[in-house]
Amino acid sequence: MLGEIYIIYITKMNWNQIKTANDFDRLLSLSENSTVLIFKHSTRCSVSRFALKEFEQNWKALDEQIVVPFFLDLLEHRNFSDEIAARYNIKHESPQVLLIKSGVCFYSKTNEEIVHANIMSAAGRII
């Protein structure tokens, strides 16, 4: 009998967390000169878990030269999701990826539309 095989998944991403008002202010400030990516994630949703895993598995170190990635745990910090929805006139969804540059949200995808290659392509066109 073979022993059990465990797969350990280690992310290569260096997420900036949105947990406080200061984190949110930093995101807004950075978006003036850089493209900011916000990944809104629900830890209770299997679709959200799958989208996050796909995105992280395809992340490359060079991607940080294109976007500044921020992670928002919706169950812990829904208030920031509501503020993002109001500020950018975007319906709250989960999972959801937004790209913001110069105070404008120019890209928003949800559920199975969250594909690393498509997101990075859209971000690369706006630089």
Residues 6 or more apart whose Cβ sits within 8 Å of residue 23: 16, 17, 70
Read off the pLDDT band of 125 (50, 70, 90): confident
Q: With pLDDT > 90 as the criterion, what percentage of the chain qualifies?
A: 80
Average predicted confidence (pLDDT) for the chain: 89
pLDDT digits (tens, 9 = 90+) for 8-49: 445 578 899 999 989 999 999 999 999 999 999 999 999 999
Backbone angles phi, psi at 40, to 5 degrees: -95, 120
Q: Which residue segments constitute the domains of the chain, with CATH numbers given?
A: 16-126 (3.40.30.10)
